Amino acid sequence: MRFALAVMLVFSAAVSGQEASPGANWPSYNNSLDGQRYSQLKQITLANAAQLGEVCRVQIDGPTSFHGGLVVQDGVIYTGTARETVALDATNCALKWKFVYQPEEARCGGSSRGVALLNGRIFRGTCDGRLVALDAATGKLLWKSVIASQKHGESTSGAPLAWGGVVYMGIAGSDVGIRGRVMAYDAGTGRELWRFYTIPMGKETGAETWKRPETAKTGGGGFWGAMTLDVTTGELFVPVGNPWPDIDHAYRPGDNLFTNSILVLDARTGALKWWHQVAPGDWMDLDLAAAPALFRSGTRDFVAIGGKDGYLTVVDRDTHRVAYRTPVTTVEHIHKAPKPEGTRLCPGYAGGVEWNGPALDPANQNLIVGAVDVCFIVKLAASATYKPGEADWGGSVAPDGPATGWITAVNRDTGEVRWKFHAEKPVVAGVTPTAGGVTFAGDLAGNFLVFNSKTGEVVHKARAGGAMAGGVVTYEAGGRQYVAFAAGNISRNAFGDLGLPSVVIMALNPGAAPQRLDVTGSAAAASGPAGTPNLANGRRLYGQICMSCHGADGNMIADRKLQNLGQRRDLAATITYIKDPKAPMPKLFPDLINEQSVIDVANFLHEELK
């Protein structure tokens, strides 16, 4: 009888799609909801990691940013860019379905950090401030909710988190003066359940930290990364972005809660439980975007925070005290205020830990985190002026010197650095340690890297075919362990290689030549006969390529404003500049955009961006 029952249970698990082994799927942004990013798979080891080879790659969109995490369930990969969402066969890159979002607003662009999966549904933000639910089997749109106001500069670039019939999402837009908030939605209907404002006003906790109360309404505090959840306590951990205006702290005196903080909310009600602020009264853009990692050491519970301040900060969840702060990139003297003639910052404004945070390697009791090593010159200008949806930082910023990266392993209990790897370009992609004793990672130079998790030795290195700026995951299908990652990226963090958004799948000893697929379809860069301006295509390309740096209004970069460009430069000169730009603008022509694309974007800048 017991044998028959066991057979029935095995059969039931097989037909229901239950995991074949621990770690077979990668079901959420950081694998587990606690943000640890650790995989129990161990088929790929130190002994055979050098045998990893490319099985296939598939281009999923035209030239644009690709920061998305990858989610894997029952042999299917789900991911996307700002407009595209795809479901791919996790063994051969074959397209199962593609959802192309048709924006309802005139301007649609920026980045997307990824999707969430729950009960056969995919959830994600759109490029014009919507939250949508898709059928995971077909890609059919199930519901759509407007959750952000584009006219006020609000956007939905972060990755949602889904749990217990609820989808959690926040809005981005700190740099244009939003009032940040986090919301919870019914996963079945899209109905809002609760909201929490990250910038307090009136009698709300923390409102007194805005010494000029009227500045809180435009105080920033956006969400643009990913969240973490403790399913045992029902606590939601939310990383909160910088205050506005970015540079002009005199405009908004005070500590400016809850900017640059990890907010801990009751996942069921949205009530505030506690918080930790890493950079009070910030003017250096030291915001938090990466989901923190939760872990236990002995009987104590901790939260590990990676921030743009360049530190790995570990906080005791019971006492709320800092256990340690360990620098994971170059950190120079912290200045009290910016100067009109310029102040050097290391890191800041694109440095430190970006949207992928620390991972836990329990076998070696380490936290492993990637970071950007870059310095900036910040110049204070006249007092900032708020205009809805427009950028005014109260100054200007520019990189000072080359941008490189670090991957650092830190003793989780003491903060001692165990090993460090200096990457040739920034590290913003996910870092994934495994039970096989290897850790997967990548950099913006387009290097896929495999490390000895204990020593930091590089045991395998391969060309990714584009900058790695998104997910790096591992999973099992048909008894075989695979590694998949996002490659190809054009965005504000384009310090290294570029490339077209692609998903790459690797495995041990792939044998046959890798498959090269392209599912972009209508997303190709060019349209119409060369030389004939297509403003619609120019508008789309501006959103896909240019908006992440220049903003919707073209004024995000203070000394390179694009608004009313036609009054300062003729069309021919604009076309010439796009083809051969000056650094830090990346050179996209002719490899990533063609003649038609250049003409379309230039005409959009002159005709519509006014």
Task: Quote the pLDDT of residue 559.
Answer: 67
Task: Quote the pLDDT of residue 597.
Answer: 85
Q: Answer whether residue 526 shows pLDDT above 60.
A: no
Per residue in 420-469, pLDDT (tens digit) is 999 999 999 999 999 999 999 999 999 999 999 999 999 999 999 999 99
Q: How far is CA 24 from CA 72, 164, 277, 585, in A?
A: 9, 21, 36, 41
Beta strands 480-487 and 404-411, pairing class: unpaired
User: For the sheet containing 502-508, what is the strand order?
Assistant: 472-477, 480-487, 502-508, 52-59, 515-518
Per residue in 325-378, pLDDT (tens digit) is 999 999 997 788 999 999 999 998 999 999 999 999 999 999 999 999 999 999
Cis peptide before 295 (omega within 30 of 0): no
Identify the H or E element spanning 84.
strand 84-89
Q: Which of 29-38, 77-86, 303-312, 559-568 has the lowest mean pLDDT?
A: 559-568
Per residue in 32-42, pLDDT (tens digit) is 999 999 999 99
The answer to whether the beta carbons of residues 315 and 322 sit under 8 Å apart is: yes
DSSP symbols for 14-61: HHHT--SSTTS-B-STTSSTTS---B---SS-TTTGGGEEEEEEEE-S
Cis peptide before 103 (omega within 30 of 0): no
The answer to whether the beta carbons of residues 390 and 555 sit under 8 Å apart is: yes
| Tokens of residue 315, six digits | 């906080």
The answer to whether the beta carbons of residues 475 and 27 sit under 8 Å apart is: no
**How big is the chain, counted in residues?**
610
As its CATH architecture, domain 21-522 has 8 Propeller (2.140)
Per residue in 378-388, pLDDT (tens digit) is 999 988 999 99
Q: What is the DSSP letter of 544?
A: I
Residue whose entry in the numeric block shows the structure tokens 């006249």: 382
Per residue in 295-336, pLDDT (tens digit) is 999 999 999 999 999 999 999 999 999 999 999 999 997 788
How much of the chain, in percent, has pLDDT values that exceed 90?
Answer: 75
Per residue in 163-200, pLDDT (tens digit) is 999 999 999 999 999 999 999 999 999 999 999 999 99
| Tokens of residue 379, six digits | 């110049």
Q: What is the DSSP letter of 492?
A: T
Q: Answer whether residue 109 shows pLDDT above 60.
A: yes
φ, ψ for residue 368 (rounded to 5)? -120, 130
Beta strands 480-487 and 502-508, pairing class: antiparallel
Distance of CA 149 to the CA centre of its chain: 21
φ, ψ for residue 434 (rounded to 5)? -135, 165
Q: What is the DSSP letter of 177?
A: T
Q: Which of 398, 441, 416, 421 is nearest to 560 (CA)?
A: 398
DSSP symbols for 324-373: EEEE-S---PPPSS-BTT-EEESS-SS-B--SS--EEETTTTEEEEEEEE
Each domain of the chain, given as residue ranges in start order, spans: 21-522, 533-607
Which pLDDT band, with edges at 50, 70 and 90, does 8 fall under?
very low
The answer to whether the beta carbons of residues 448 and 468 sit under 8 Å apart is: yes
* Cα four-point dihedral sign 590, 595, 596, 602: positive
Q: Answer whether residue 10 shows pLDDT above 70.
A: no
Q: Answer whether residue 596 shows pLDDT above 80.
A: yes
Task: Quote the pLDDT of residue 419.
Answer: 98
| Tokens of residue 289, six digits | 């975007």
Task: Quote the pLDDT of residue 20.
Answer: 57
The answer to whether the beta carbons of residues 311 and 322 sit under 8 Å apart is: no
Q: Answer whether residue 566 shows pLDDT above 80.
A: no
Per residue in 479-511, pLDDT (tens digit) is 999 999 999 998 776 677 889 999 999 999 998
Per residue in 115-151, pLDDT (tens digit) is 999 999 999 999 999 999 999 999 999 999 999 998 8
Which pLDDT band, with edges at 50, 70 and 90, does 558 fall under?
low
3-state secondary structure of 8: helix
Q: Answer whether residue 525 shows pLDDT above 50.
A: no
Give bridge partners of residue 281 from the DSSP assignment: none
Q: How far is CA 325 from CA 73, 265, 334, in A?
A: 36, 23, 15
Per residue in 203-254, pLDDT (tens digit) is 999 999 999 999 999 999 999 999 999 999 999 999 999 999 999 999 999 9
Fold of the 533-607 domain: Cytochrome Bc1 Complex; Chain D, domain 2 (1.10.760)
Quote the mean pLDDT of the chain.
91
Neighbours of 517 (CB within 10 A): 18
Give bridge partners of residue 473 from the DSSP assignment: 484
